[in-house]
Structure 1
Amino acid sequence: MKYVDEFRDAELGRALAGEILTSVEPGRHYKIMEVCGGHTHSIYKFGIDDLLPANVELVHGPGCPVCVIPMGRVDDGIAVARHPGVILTCFGDMMRIPGSAGSFLDAKAGGADIRMVYSPLDALRIARQNPDREVVFYAIGFETTAPSTALTLKRAKIEGIRNFSVMCSHVTIVPPLRALLDSPDLRLDGFIGP
């Protein structure tokens, strides 16, 4: 499988670790921030931190949109999902994020029609299949995910699908990163970005 097996190649991993080791200046301290909690999890799960030279420090960053979403936005999604005739769709990583009175998964267990999708286009397909129900896509992510949401809205308009809407929780990452770079106390050398 392209781009999966390649990342499980131990020899390639050792070669990349060696390249990092020869690229850093021995007398200099490097501070690299992981932006997303998913990156942090993978780095420590697979021992990548142990492969880095001692003078390369990893710093935990602001977190991804799912990790830092306010509870009120989760509550809003649950309230929408509980309306009769509504199907709420969302990415799988949103299902367990807690609101003030539970998660999307809890609301689903309580009878709300909440479905996991892999793409906004999956949500649009559900709207086509259920013309008598309102299908709401709970959109979340950085700037990188916003274009697929916009494309889906455009396609819904072109196709005349009127039972599809988006509850937008996209966030921008550039302003927080800029603020972090401008901080005199932090002095970052780079980011591991989304």
Structure 2
Amino acid sequence: MTRIATAALGAAALSSLLSIADAVAGGLGDHLLSEEDATGWATTGTSLLLGATFALLAAVLAQRGRDIDAGRRSVRAVRLVLTADLTLLAVLFIAGILVARYPDTVLYRAWGAVSGTGFLLMFVAGVILGALLLRRPELRTGAILLTAPLVIIPLTIAANAMAPGWGHPGYAETALYLGVALLGLEPVPARPVGVAR
């Protein structure tokens, strides 16, 4: 286990905890962060945490790329898309700390549109990568979590329909963040006996 993988797992756990806490708070009637707090310390801290999480998850995918790909072009293509998207989201969330100071501007709306698109792409690429890795026993735990949004998102929509306020992307985010982080924690395949290191 590398330091990057350990840091990514820790950041994913913290971001997931924050997302679930916000989801529960929203279900109870008030999100943790409001629009009025767009430039406050809580929002700034959240943006820094998410930016760091996205950067570390991208680093895990880059560092473990060869082991994840296992020579499969389709896996490599999707992994690279997800890595690039997570890198973009890291930059956007850090930049968002400054952009939030200028609401109701073209810059703010453009930032929101690009961030929203990147967020959606993260789920699509994550689910596809997970589906491609499901047959790999050494990566199966991460793969299952990556594909979990296929079930979690419809359940979240249904929950929100039955109990308004309980629909939140945090549930699916948690599965995706932890799924990517666990790809970094899986053991590297052992070398055959007698092969020099």
TM class by shorter chain equals: under 0.3
Larger % of strand: which?
1
Q: TM-score, normalised by structure 2?
A: 0.22
Q: TM-score, normalised by structure 1?
A: 0.22
- Tell which structure's C-alpha radius of gyration is larger: 1
Larger relative contact order (CA 8 Å, sep ≥ 6)? 2
Larger % of helix: which?
2
